[in-house]
Amino acid sequence: MTLEQLSSAIENNIMSGLRGSTVNLSFSLDQIEDAIIQERMAIIKEYSIKNLIPIKDLLVSIPCVNVDCKDIDRCCNSDYTLDKIKHIEIPQVYNDFGSDSIQYIGSLDKMYPYTIYTTDAFRYHKHRRRGSNKPFVWVDTTPNVNNMNDAFIFNAPPMLRELLVVMIPKDIRQLDNYGCCSGTEVSNINFIDTEIEKRVTEKYIRWYRQTALPVTPNDQTIKT
């Protein structure tokens, strides 16, 4: 189920659950989408602690990620500028699964996977006895100015233009930034969608019933 479909389903559930009440509903689909993203991360954490969710059900494949060149210091006002390095921008990575959060970065045909680093250990790659000259990627898992993650490709082929990334994103809305498959939406179907729909719907209905319904005065009479 796509984010738009899930938001619409939750909106319909809320309207049905509060039908007949006098409460003035004031929420938007954008608010529901924010709630979905927050609830999704909470559910993933909850079920991963219990080891009840397969990582493959969370992975999404992002093809045709454009490669550009960027200074690794990323400081536009700095007098000291490093040589530009091959670079891609990816959605923020869900880090709770460690190195498993990014399953693949490499050629579009999956024949040439790059070694992936998410820590400063990438600095020691050149000292490896084997494969030190092969391409490798350092993913900076802190958000950049676009609220995305930067990934720098070292030992990259000179004519490299596009890469394939398979990862677990924090916010699935950031996948909209990748338009090589125009008109399609990426969605890994799993049980989490059902759990999100149930929890977000219940929270909205509970909130409106408990805090938004008008308070009537107690006149000491029994209403029949």
Q: What percent of the chain has pLDDT over 90?
A: 54
**pLDDT value of position 90:** 96
63, 88, 95, 110, 159 from 155: Cα distances, Å:
21, 14, 25, 18, 12
Global confidence as pTM? 0.82
Q: What percent of the chain has pLDDT over 70?
A: 84
**pLDDT value of position 38:** 95
Nearest to 61 by CA among 151, 181, 147, 193: 181
Contact assessment for residue 137 and residue 115, using Cβ atoms and an 8 Å cutoff: yes
Q: Tokens 């998410």 identify what position?
A: 118
Confidence band, pLDDT 50/70/90 cuts, at residue 82: low
In angstroms, rounded to a whole number, what is the distance separating the alpha carbons of residues 69 and 156? 11
On average, the pLDDT of the chain sits at 85
Higher-confidence residue: 224 or 94?
Answer: 94
**pLDDT value of position 26:** 78
**pLDDT value of position 110:** 93
Name, in order, each residue with C-beta under 8 angstroms of 183's C-beta and a sequence gap of 6 or more: none
Confidence band, pLDDT 50/70/90 cuts, at residue 213: low
Contact assessment for residue 203 and residue 36, using Cβ atoms and an 8 Å cutoff: no
For 129-153, give one letter per residue: b (16+ CB within 10 A) or e: eeeeeebbbbbeeeeeeeebbbbbb
Confidence band, pLDDT 50/70/90 cuts, at residue 69: very high
Amino acid at 203: K
The mean per-residue pLDDT over the stretch 120-144 comes to 90
**Collapsed DSSP state (helix, strand, coil) of residue 110:** coil
**pLDDT value of position 183:** 42
Name the token pair of 61. 């494949």
Q: Tokens 């990259």 identify what position?
A: 156
Phi/psi at 122 (5° precision): -60, -20
The mean per-residue pLDDT over the stretch 7-17 comes to 91
